[in-house]
């Protein structure tokens, strides 16, 4: 019998790709989403990829009665992977209370309902934003967290602390905190990818939209940083590698006999690539010439950050295997499916 895994934010970019891997690995994903960050496009792609009508519940993780009804209706949920959160830095600056109520409140409510229903295994979607601009690179899981640059980043820090305090209190929660870096790419079938709402906040959908003509050009924010080519450096990880890491984290939690557990894992490729390097790689992988210009630095941007992923390799038996060229080619094919939308 396949174990049911509740995936909050399951219709989103990372959630839907993780659901596809869960299904492939013999689990039964149960999705929950309110479509505030997503739409039904990825559910259709997921259905085609899996050949199954994946169980889906529409609603908000802050809705305690809805969560109770899902746990009761499904009956035997084995674990929860929690993606659901608002994730736009600029919006969080404008609406901090909304972000705290939504991101932090939903995590508290979910943990409470899990405990009431005797579900202990919890994989939490965190972010490398908690490191800010680190003093040393690459960052390890022991690298000190810096003050958050935005309410969004602060919600990730606060949620990590809430989960850790819950575990330290002796509550039967086994938690894997996954701090990931910059997800890019799509499912290799090109049936699922990133679907931005309005003007994209992330680099890759903006880049592909510029390449297809939806945007007039791509702006590179700054070429005067202390990096080899002057542009910011990030750790870009393929979405399928990232999705597979969530399933490995789940297997790790399911295999441990501890009553309570709190472990943090960095998820990246362990290597930094600059924005200008990424642009050149995209052009080479796709044969498309990109219209871009250099603009001023963007306030709050970190100069460079990339991960040490030794812990994930040793404990989760996971390592990123896909290269940037493959990720960017897949992202371009997805954009061609979307067209000029």
Active site residues: 152
Contact of 185 with 240, CB cutoff 8 Å: yes
Contact of 78 with 254, CB cutoff 8 Å: yes
Please report, for the chain, how many H helices and E strands are present, in that order: 12, 13
CA distances from 92 to 89, 107, 135, 170, 206 (A): 5, 17, 26, 33, 20
176/52 Cα distance (integer angstroms): 28
3-state SS class at 194: coil
3-state SS class at 28: strand
With residue 237 as reference, give the H or E element that holds it: strand 236-238
Buried b (16+ CB within 10 A) or exposed e, 306-336: bbbbebbeeebebebebebeebbbbbbbbbe
* Bridge partners, 174 (sequence order): 121, 261
3-state SS class at 180: strand
Expressed in angstroms, the distance from the first to the final Cα of the chain is 41
Contact of 331 with 190, CB cutoff 8 Å: no
Reference 194, options 7, 328, 53, 24; nearest CA is 328
């Amino acid at each position: 019998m396949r174990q049911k895994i509740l995936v909050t934010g399951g219709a989103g970019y990372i959630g839907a790709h993780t659901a596809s891997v869960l299904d492939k690995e013999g689990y039964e994903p149960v999705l929950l989403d309110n479509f505030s960050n997503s739409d039904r496009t990825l559910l259709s792609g997921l259905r085609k990829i899996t050949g199954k009508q994946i169980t889906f519940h529409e609603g908000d993780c802050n809705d305690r009665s809805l969560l109770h009804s899902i746990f009761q209706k499904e009956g035997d949920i084995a674990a929860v992977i929690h993606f659901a959160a608002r994730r736009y830095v600029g919006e969080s600056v404008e609406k901090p209370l909304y972000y705290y109520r939504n991101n932090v409140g939903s995590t508290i409510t979910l943990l409470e309902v899990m405990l009431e229903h005797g579900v202990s295994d919890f994989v939490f979607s965190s972010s490398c934003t908690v490191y800010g601009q680190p003093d040393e690179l690459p960052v390890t899981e022991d690298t000190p967290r810096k003050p958050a640059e935005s309410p969004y980043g602060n919600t990730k820090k606060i949620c990590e602390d809430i989960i850790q305090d819950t575990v330290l209190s002796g509550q039967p929660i086994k938690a894997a905190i996954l701090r990931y870096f910059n997800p890019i790419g799509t499912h290799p079938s090109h049936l699922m990818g990133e679907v931005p709402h309005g003007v994209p906040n992330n680099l890759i959908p903006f880049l592909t939209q510029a390449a297809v003509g939806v945007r007039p050009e791509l702006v590179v924010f700054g070429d005067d940083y202390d990096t080899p080519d002057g542009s910011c450096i990030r750790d870009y990880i393929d979405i399928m590698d990232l999705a597979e890491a969530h399933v490995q984290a789940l297997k790790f939690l399911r295999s441990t006999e501890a009553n309570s557990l709190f472990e943090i894992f960095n998820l990246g490729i362990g290597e930094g690539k600059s924005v200008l390097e990424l642009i050149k790689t995209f052009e080479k992988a796709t044969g498309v010439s990109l219209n871009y210009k250099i603009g001023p630095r963007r306030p709050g941007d970190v100069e460079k950050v990339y991960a040490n992923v030794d812990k994930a390799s040793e404990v989760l038996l996971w390592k990123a295997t896909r290269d940037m060229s493959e990720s960017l080619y897949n992202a371009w094919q997805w954009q061609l499916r979307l067209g000029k939308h």
